[in-house]
Each structure stands twice: as C-alpha cells, then as structure tokens.
Amino acid sequence: MSTTPDESAATENSEESPLADPEFRERLRELPPSAKLVAKVLETDAPLSQGQLAEESLLPDRTVRYALNRLEESELVGSRYSFHDARKQVYYLSN
C-alpha cells in the first residue's frame, strides 16, 4: 500500500526537527501564535491535512488556514497531495 511514504515523512521529521534550527525558530518567532501552534503540531504529527491540524490543535478551520498561509509565505511549511486521498493537501515542516 502507499502508507509507507507518509510514515517515512513523519519519521524524518521526528529524527531531525526543523524547530531545532535557530534560523527556522527566528522566522517562526515573527509569526502569530496560531502559526506557532500549527508548527508545533506538525513537528510531532506531520504530514497532516488542514482538517487534521484543526482537530489536533483545537483551532477553528479558518484560523488553521490563516496559520498555514503565513507559514507557507515564510517558507516554513511545505505541502503535497495526500497519498490516501488525492483531493487533500497534507502539510509538513520544511527544512
């Protein structure tokens, strides 16, 4: 099945977290609290869809969408189509 790429991406993020990088942390520091929370959730559970992020962070969908837009503008988050459902994007922290 195609679950292996999702699992390997999560393993890569847990082994070498971008949040440990001082430059990454400095760029994140300038963002709103919602973006910081979304980044923290992605640090432990990536890749996640927008709906999964809303569920895990307990933030409203609109707030998660705003946080993801800010993180993408700062090039702190990447996205790709889900292997489980090609209609959905999943997000992960970029190095």
pLDDT of 7: 45
Question: How far apart, in whole angstroms, are the C-alpha atoms of residue 67 and residue 93?
Answer: 13
Average pLDDT, the chain: 86
End-to-end Cα, the chain, rounded Å:
27
| pTM beyond 0.75, yes or no | yes
- For residues 72 and 14, the model is more confident at 72
Among the listed residues 45, 48, 50, the one whose alpha carbon sits nearest the alpha carbon of residue 62: 50
**What's the pLDDT tens digit per position in 2-46?**
444 444 444 444 457 888 888 999 999 999 999 999 999 999 988
Share of the chain above pLDDT 90, in %: 69
pLDDT of 15: 58
Name beta bridge partners: 4: none
Fill in the DSSP letter of residue 77: E
Question: How far apart, in whole angstroms, are the C-alpha atoms of residue 84 and residue 90?
Answer: 10
